[in-house]
Structure 1
Amino acid sequence: MSSALTEIPELRKVSLTRPIAPPSHRIRQDRDIDAWKKTTGYKDYCLWVVRLNSSVIGQDIPTVAGTPRSQAVNKVVELLDELKKWVDEIPPYGDKQRFGNLAFRDWGKRLQNNAAQLLHKTLPQEYHPAIPLLMPYFMSSFGDFTRLDYGSGHELSFAVFLMGLTLVRFFKPTPDEERHLVVTVFGKYLEVTWYLQDVYRLEPAGSHGVWGLDDYHFLGFLWGSAQLRGQSSIAPSSVLNPPLSPTNLYNMQVSRIYQLKIGPFFEHSAQLHAIATGVPNWDKVNAGMLKMYEAEVLNKRVVVQHLPLGGLLAWD
């Protein structure tokens, strides 16, 4: 997954005029990763991540937020606001468990019962044939309702959900729209998932969030480092000196770590500390993030084995 700013191809368009078989779980063994990396779906997703990354280079949150946004972006933000409102309507049980409040299962049950209706309300009629193809990703975007955890695999599901909406052209693959997908839509998604993690005390998926840069997420750091590219006056080491200005997703992610964790930064966030002290500029940070995301998320069986493949995420 290259960060080179040469001409980036446009994401292909998928027609909904003919039936498309729904996605299914295809990765069960390590050797299946090699097949996954050769598929059209894998290439589409890597291209989509790079396109969004390129769109926000040097673009801070206030700048993007001040530009007009499409009705499609507004509709998905409304959808996420609705899901956040449910958290207040389904309070946590009064137990003393450190991780995993069982009320999260009630929230998940409401999502399961209402997901199709929500997507029908969000998408115009012409996109309704895509709903069965999008549903598996939407349903797994917010955590596991059995294990009561959340990790970068769930974040990946939401990203694939957004990519699918771009493939069918509900979202348009233009720089302005792609900037809003990062700053406005993904920014709102972070807000919702952070709220879910806090209220229901969700456990990090995997071994203490080993596949994320914090315990839960990755993409905010990746796209946030793109926002900081070209900022010669702000060194990567600046994140070691809080408080941080919330003008990009990277600072927001690191600020959340300071909010949740105590003790020396180099102890609880060793990888981020190594980046802050060992990488000279944001161009190199961002390029390294792209490579790391592909290696540590997309090519890790323990993460992508839960991702349904086929359908819009074409397996061919």
Structure 2
Amino acid sequence: MAETEQQSGSTLEDEAHEVPGGGVAFMVPKKEISMVPDMSKWRRSQAYADYMGFVRTLNEGVKGKSFTCDYNVSETVEKLLDLLETLDRWIDETPPADQPSRFGNRAYRTWYAKLDQEAEALVAAVLPADRCAAAPEIAVYLRESVGNATRIDYGTGHEAAFAAFLCCLCKVGALQADDRLAIVFKVFNRYLEVMRKLQKTYRMEPAGSQGVWGLDDFQFLPFIWGSSQFVDHPTVEPRHFIDERVVNEHHQDYMFLECIKFINEMKTGPFAEHSNQLWNISAVASWSKVNQGLVRMYKAECMEKFPVIQHFKFGSLLSIQPVKP
């Protein structure tokens, strides 16, 4: 149960939103991790357990399945696709500004201001009528998922906010267990398309990039779920994803290869030089080992790194409270 009592220094919008008929008190999420020692609170939190559980559940769900397999597409999934279509349309309506600096086009701020203003209404349109009280809480994760308007950058922390947004929709019952495949193959995949369009249109900087030592400048989760798709694949092995012919042949069916295709389009020079970590992964013997290694790497490089988690926000659905024994 979220606290309804206001903390000192909080604003009116931090007050909890009660669901009609009682039950869970929703609250506008806020930052709780302000110093490195706070990371232990995060690792023990219900939010961490729920978030990583969500990532693993989807990872298991897509194992060995391509985009072309049969799966359920619910009304909520269709509404989420409409939401992402709206964000895509706004990019078309907000062309890049003419400016001297090559990166960080300021027109992104105009685009972001529209989302900032409309986020609650967009989320309310996705939620069942009896869960609309959750919109202010869940909308925070949508706003956080598209990059930072001050720095005009985007990175794995923003991607994590979108996964948190989807996790919250599951927790309020808007998305169900049989939506698992559609969450990854339809919704998350469409989100990636919109983010790539944002990155290209407004020349966004990678947030907290580790350069050549990072897995990718912008994303991580599609490599995890994408490698799971390939588990037990009869012909494509990890060594094949650096072959452009294989990428061009299979990218429409597999998320991992779609990511590689985007890297190939955006970067020049030998793959081993601009994407060294991925080059190393191509030498791993099996996709199941790649997948297990990427989950470990995600925890170490994203989920347990203070520069990423200091921006994460906690409410009633993803709570900073310790996991109950």
Q: Using the alignment, how far apart are the partners of 2:173 and 2:211 within structure 1?
A: 33
What is the match of residue 282 of structure 1?
Answer: 287
Map Cα deviations across residues 156-215 of structure 1 (whole Å, 9 max, x no partner).
0000000000011100023xx111101100000000000000101100001456795211
Question: Percent same amino acid among aligned pairs?
Answer: 38
Correspondence 1:100 to 2:100? no
Correspondence 1:204 to 2:186? no
Q: Using the alignment, how far apart are the partners of 2:280 and 2:59 within structure 1?
A: 22
Map Cα deviations across residues 274-310 of structure 1 (whole Å, 9 max, x no partner).
0002x10100000001111111111101001001123
**8 Å CA contact retained: 1:138, 1:161:** yes
Correspondence 1:193 to 2:195? yes
Q: Which amino acid aligns with 1:288?
A: G
Describe how 1:144-293 pairs up with structure 2 within 5 A.
144-174=148-178, 177-207=179-209, 213-243=215-245, 244=247, 245-246=250-251, 247-277=253-283, 279-293=284-298
What is the match of residue 7 of structure 1?
Answer: none
Q: Which amino acid aligns with 2:89?
A: K
Change (3 A) 1:210 1:270: closer
Where does structure 2 lack aligned partners over 5 or more consecutive residues?
1-17
Change (3 A) 1:152 1:212: farther
Map Cα deviations across residues 113-145 of structure 1 (whole Å, 9 max, x no partner).
111221222223212111121121111110001
What is the match of residue 52 of structure 1?
Answer: 58
Q: Using the alignment, how far apart are the partners of 2:236 and 2:154 within structure 1?
A: 31
What is the match of residue 314 of structure 1?
Answer: 319
Q: Which amino acid aligns with 1:184?
A: K
What is the match of residue 15 of structure 2?
Answer: none
Map Cα deviations across residues 233-265 of structure 1 (whole Å, 9 max, x no partner).
211010111031111110000111111111000
Q: Using the alignment, how far apart are the partners of 1:225 and 1:196 within structure 2?
A: 25
Deviation at 1:39, TM superposition (A): 1.1
**8 Å CA contact retained: 2:212, 2:273:** no
What is the match of residue 8 of structure 1?
Answer: none
Residues 66-75 or 207-216, more deviating: 207-216
Aligned match for 1:39, one of 38, 45, 48? 45
Correspondence 1:62 to 2:64? no
Change (3 A) 1:40 1:103: same
Residues 73-82 or 90-99, more deviating: 90-99
Q: Which amino acid aligns with 1:271?
A: Q
Correspondence 1:131 to 2:135? yes
Where does structure 1 lack aligned partners over 5 or more consecutive residues?
1-14
What is the match of residue 83 of structure 1?
Answer: 87
Q: Using the alignment, how far apart are the partners of 1:53 and 1:229 within structure 2?
A: 11
What is the match of residue 123 of structure 2?
Answer: 119
Residues 113-122 or 75-84, more deviating: 113-122
CA root-mean-square deviation:
1.6
Correspondence 1:20 to 2:26? yes
Q: Which amino acid aligns with 1:185?
A: V
Q: Which amino acid aligns with 1:308?
A: K
Map Cα deviations across residues 9-40 of structure 1 (whole Å, 9 max, x no partner).
xxxxxx95332333211111221111111111
**8 Å CA contact retained: 2:62, 2:181:** yes
**8 Å CA contact retained: 2:72, 2:182:** no
Q: Which amino acid aligns with 1:310?
A: G
Q: Using the alignment, how far apart are the partners of 1:90 and 1:210 within structure 2?
A: 32
Correspondence 1:300 to 2:305? yes
Residues 186-195 or 121-130, more deviating: 121-130
Residue correspondences, number: 297
**8 Å CA contact retained: 1:39, 1:314:** yes
Q: Using the alignment, how far apart are the partners of 1:222 and 1:36 within structure 2?
A: 22
Q: Using the alignment, how far apart are the partners of 1:208 and 1:83 within structure 2?
A: 28
Deviation at 1:53, TM superposition (A): 0.2
